[in-house]
Amino acid sequence: MATHEPMSPAERSLRARIAAHAMHAGNDPVEITAKARAAFLAKFEYQADPEGTLPPEERRRRAEHLRSAHFARLALASAKARRTRKRAARGGDQATGQPR
Let me know if residue 10 belongs to a domain.
Answer: no
The answer to whether residue 93 scores a pLDDT higher than 80 is no
Whether residue 28 is contained in a domain is answered as no
Has residue 47 been placed in a domain? no
Domain of residue 83: give its range.
Answer: 54-90
Using pLDDT thresholds of 50, 70 and 90, give the confidence band for residue 1: low
Domain tally, the chain = 1
Tell me whether residue 5 is in a domain: no
What single DSSP character describes residue 49?
Answer: -
Q: Dump pLDDT digits (tens) for 61-86.
A: 999 999 999 999 999 999 999 999 99
pLDDT digits (tens, 9 = 90+) for 24-42: 999 998 999 999 999 999 9
Calculate the CA 36 to chain-centre distance: 12
Task: Look at residue 64 and tell me if it is in a domain.
Answer: yes
pLDDT band at 95 (very low <50, low <70, confident <90, very high): low
How far is it, in rounded angstroms, from Cα 9 to Cα 3?
A: 19
Assessment of whether the complete model's pTM goes beyond 0.85: no
